[in-house]
Copies of this chain bind each other. A is one copy, B any other.
């Protein structure tokens, strides 16, 4: 068992905060919240100090591409399509033509380790990784002890030929991924498989229908990019005569809820459609800002009833995997877009990053309640930047807290960060090796 003793704040969710209580974890679940007599617990109970700390639900990074940690701090002056051509594609090409085609996945395991270390240190307990070759890297997520959604990228058009597998090979890979990794380990799953048609314009209708059917048959979630840029919407209209989300509706792709990253350039009809079809919108404010993509109509989407989660997107367009900065950017960007600070607040974006994120990722977590999966983050409140003269904690967590305030992290009932030390991976070795290997593909 793990006891978080006398936490100054237990933030059960955006609306329910308790003061000076204990939180008990038993196995992979939260067992009790309240005043707990330590003397009655088993002798081997691990105790984490809660005084001066806030316990919050583990945060969910609902859209990203882990490999892009290898591209941090690269060019910041390119629009999306040109950025793919000059930054991400050359890297992917280098990796594919070299290590990966030889069956060697070292580089993938290393970038997974680097990214999961950054995420754990930032209070992220569940992430979505949209990528092509996930089979070889998932073992690293399990070692790191973090919850991962493996959203396998599926493409059969637009992307350069040398970066795509044949349709048959793609489907075989997807089947293999599902069989090997969906809900693994069985007793308390950390890994979930999603299917990830990169975007409607990179997928034929045939591929999309196969994805829909395969997802339904295996009870899988789906993640795709929708209308990240104005260019993409034009492409869609040119190719299929419809804007992306309307097109997906027209072919029956939205019959069960999907998750859709970005949703920056939606038509008013598509905003309503997102609500009606319960599209899980993944808002990536910092990526949208840095690539100059635009501002997602989050306020209208929320009004339409669409669930909204937060994502960092890949580290090449952000360049942090940091839910605290992402939360404040999320709120502030909507406030300035509307020139109205009342449209979205701390409670809203906190919910996006926790409860809603867990919901769209189909994880039984995101709130701190007995019976929920034990994904808990302890925030050290002692920093000068967290100085407060009010007892209210939620605005401070959203606007003042930093990833560096994350002191300890429990995922699935296992302590993966303790007093700012990663317990599951050898951080120094990982960073040094990843740097050495990564430089080959720069």
Question: If A289-B332, A399-B319 touch, does A345 touch B385 (CB 8 Å cutoff)?
Answer: no
Question: If A385-B122, A387-B114 touch, does A77 touch B403 (CB 8 Å cutoff)?
Answer: no
Q: Nearest Cβ distance between residue A352 and chain B, in whole angstroms?
A: 15
| B385 and A339 form a contact (CB under 8 A) | no
Bound-state Cα–Cα, A90 to B312, Å: 38
Bound-state Cα–Cα, A15 to B396, Å: 36
Query: Which segment, of A65-73, A166-174, A274-282, faces chain B?
Result: A65-73
A295 close to chain B: CB less than 8 A: yes
| B114 and A384 form a contact (CB under 8 A) | yes
Q: Which of B290, B339, B396 contacts A341 (CB 8 A)?
A: B290
| B118 and A76 form a contact (CB under 8 A) | no
A389 close to chain B: CB less than 8 A: yes
Bound-state Cα–Cα, A403 to B384, Å: 12
Contacts of A384 in B (CB 8 A): 114, 117-118, 121, 427, 431
For chain A residues 39-76, which have a beta carbon within 8 Å of chain B?
69-76
Name the residue in A75, A121, A338, A388 with the highest tally of chain B Cβ atoms < 10 Å from its Cβ: A388
Question: If A319-B400, A332-B290, A341-B291 touch, does A434 touch B118 (CB 8 Å cutoff)?
Answer: no
Q: Nearest Cβ distance between residue A317 and chain B, in whole angstroms?
A: 9
| A441 and B76 form a contact (CB under 8 A) | no
Contacts of A121 in B (CB 8 A): 383-385
Question: If A345-B77, A388-B72, A395-B75 touch, does A291 touch B441 (CB 8 Å cutoff)?
Answer: no
A162 close to chain B: CB less than 8 A: no
Bound-state Cα–Cα, A121 to B403, Å: 15
| A341 and B389 form a contact (CB under 8 A) | no
| B390 and A294 form a contact (CB under 8 A) | no
0/1 interface trace, chain A 415-442, chain B, CB 8 Å (1 if under): 0000000000001000100110011011
| A341 and B79 form a contact (CB under 8 A) | yes
Question: If A286-B332, A336-B292, A341-B291 touch, does A73 touch B392 (CB 8 Å cutoff)?
Answer: yes
Question: If A114-B387, A395-B75 touch, does A333 touch B403 (CB 8 Å cutoff)?
Answer: no
A329 close to chain B: CB less than 8 A: yes
| A295 and B79 form a contact (CB under 8 A) | no
Contacts of A389 in B (CB 8 A): 70-72, 434-435, 438-439, 441-442
0/1 interface trace, chain A 314-347, chain B, CB 8 Å (1 if under): 0000111110010011011101101111110110
Q: Which of B118, B292, B341 contacts A335 (CB 8 A)?
A: B292
A404 close to chain B: CB less than 8 A: yes
A78 close to chain B: CB less than 8 A: yes
Q: Nearest Cβ distance between residue A403 and chain B, in whole angstroms?
A: 7
A288 close to chain B: CB less than 8 A: yes
Bound-state Cα–Cα, A305 to B341, Å: 31
Question: If A286-B332, A399-B318 touch, does A340 touch B69 (CB 8 Å cutoff)?
Answer: no
Hey, which bits of chain A sit against chain B, CB under 8 A?
A: 69-79, 83, 114, 117-118, 121-122, 230, 286, 288-295, 318-322, 325, 328-329, 331-333, 335-336, 338-343, 345-346, 382-390, 392-393, 395-396, 398-400, 402-404, 427, 431, 434-435, 438-439, 441-442
Please list 6 pairs of residues, one from A and one from B, whose beta carbons are closer than 8 Å in the complex, sorted by A's number.
A72-B388, A121-B383, A288-B336, A292-B343, A318-B399, A387-B431
Other than A72-B386, A72-B400, A319-B399, give 12 A-B pairs with Cβ distance below 8 A. A76-B331, A76-B341, A78-B342, A79-B342, A118-B387, A121-B383, A286-B328, A286-B332, A289-B332, A290-B341, A292-B342, A390-B442
